[in-house]
Amino acid sequence: MPGPLHGYRIVDLTSMISGPHATMILADQGADVIKVENPDGGDHTRAANNRRGGFSASFLNNNRNKRSVALDLKRPAARQALLRLIATADVFIQNFRPGVAERMGLGEDTVRAAAPEIIYVSISGFGETGPYAGKPVYDPLIQAVSGLATIQAGSDTERPRLVRTIVPDKLTAVSAAQAITAALLARERTGRGQHVRLSMLDAVIAFLWASDMGSQTFVGEDIPQQEAASFIDLIYETASTAISVAVQTDKEWQALTRALDQPDWSRDPRFLTPALRQRHINDRLSMTQAVLKTRPAEEWLERLTVEGVPCAPVLTRTAMLSNPQVVANGIIVETDHPHAGRLRQARPAARFSATPATIRHGGAALGEHTHAVLAELGYSEPEAESITGSVPGNQGR
């Protein structure tokens, strides 16, 4: 069975991570994603490090299940071909800086003239208006402005720290994929397309509010705005390797005191309720750490599990691959790429019982499908040659 988005076509002019990862999610779910790239190098991630067979891991991990068309959009014939392609599509997505798409002749009015009911998607860094709108943007800048870097530090008075993965890019991708699907559903009901706008800054601030902006929630209240909960992570050293232990409820706290052979903790006035345990969090976590250092991880994990305490081993990226739970879930899959060889990747996260998401093919070579897509649009081979010329990458026929 094809994926749940089979039959929808997406014209993708995005590059780097936020846009390409969003469209890969949709491609995994069956959409026909046509990635339109500049023939002079294509997506910037094609040139990234960690590569084999001419393909970077970054490109492969954000662009599978797509077709690549290489068009020099400075050429009028190429722009006309793109507009003909857009006329067959359900979604058009770009992540240029605000104003660039309009200067390229690909603003919403132009695109909608070719496809009146299309979903037009614009992803930006800081948003389309305001003093930062025109700034170049990378993930650390969004972490800085959103407050994420100070949240990661633990307090406004500590040196800000970056999360060591590109949370804003990937979170924006997931938000965009969900928003595109919602817009398609709305169009099914109303018959009308719309413009979906989102920025990395919007996505991260909305994400943070669910759990990290409690003091900023109540307007007019005199609540500490930067008080740190604790500088101690829920990662504990043991006599062997690190583990994570986390308790919230009274039942879990009592279970922890039993697993650690610390019955006095259950009667300690500092820890009698969840609120008190939160107030005295540094004492509680420091005491827990002192006990956990006395025995190896394997022994603690067994004791904690028997008592029903939430716990898990702390794994390296490579060790994660063979973890029994990861293996049982079938999260990591292997596929063959015609140029990069045998690949290991995470399968699509959402599983559909009737319309499964699948990895149908790996990331495409630059321009691999140019001539095939132009043929689908009714161009003859000589016409396709006149559109693409002899630019590198347009080898797909």
Sign of the torsion formed by the C-alpha atoms of 322, 325, 326 and 328: positive
Q: Are 37 and 396 in contact (CB under 8 A)?
A: no
pLDDT at position 218: 85
Question: In sequence order, what are the residues at sequence separation of 6 or more whose Cβ sits closer than 8 angstroms to the Cβ of residue 190?
Answer: none
pLDDT at position 214 is 83
For the chain, list the domains and their CATH numbers.
9-209+350-388 (3.40.50.10540), 243-313 (3.30.1540.10)
Give the position of tokens 């209240």.
221
- Rg of the chain over Cα atoms, rounded to whole angstroms, equals 25
Nearest to 79 by CA among 56, 113, 32, 126: 113
Positions in the chain short of pLDDT 70: 223-231, 390-397
- Is 21 exposed, middle or buried, given 0-12, 13-18 or 19+ CB atoms closer than 10 A? buried
Kindly report the pTM of this predicted structure. Answer: 0.94
Per-residue model confidence (pLDDT) at position 195: 98
Q: What pLDDT was estimated at residue 77?
A: 97
pLDDT at 82: 98
Alpha carbon 194 to its chain's center: 23
Q: 3-state SS of the chain?
A: CCCCCCCCEEEECCCCCHHHHHHHHHHHCCCEEEEEECCCCCCHHHHCCCEECCEEHHHHCCCCCEEEEECCCCCHHHHHHHHHHHCCCCEEEECCCCCHHHHCCCCHHHHHHHCCCCEEEEEECCCCCCCCCCCCCCHHHHHHHHCHHHHHHCCCCCCCCCCCCCHHHHHHHHHHHHHHHHHHHHHHHHCCCCEEEEEHHHHHHHHHHCCCCHHHCCCCCCCCCCCCCCCCCCEECCCCCCEEECCCCHHHHHHHHHHCCCHHHHHCHHHCCHHHHHHCHHHHHHHHHHHHCCCCHHHHHHHHHHHCCCEEECCCHHHHHCCHHHHHHCCEEEEEECCCEEEEEECCCCCCCCCCCCCCCCCCCCCCCHHHHHHHCCCCHHHHHHHHCCCCCCCCC
State CA 123 to chain mean position distance.
13
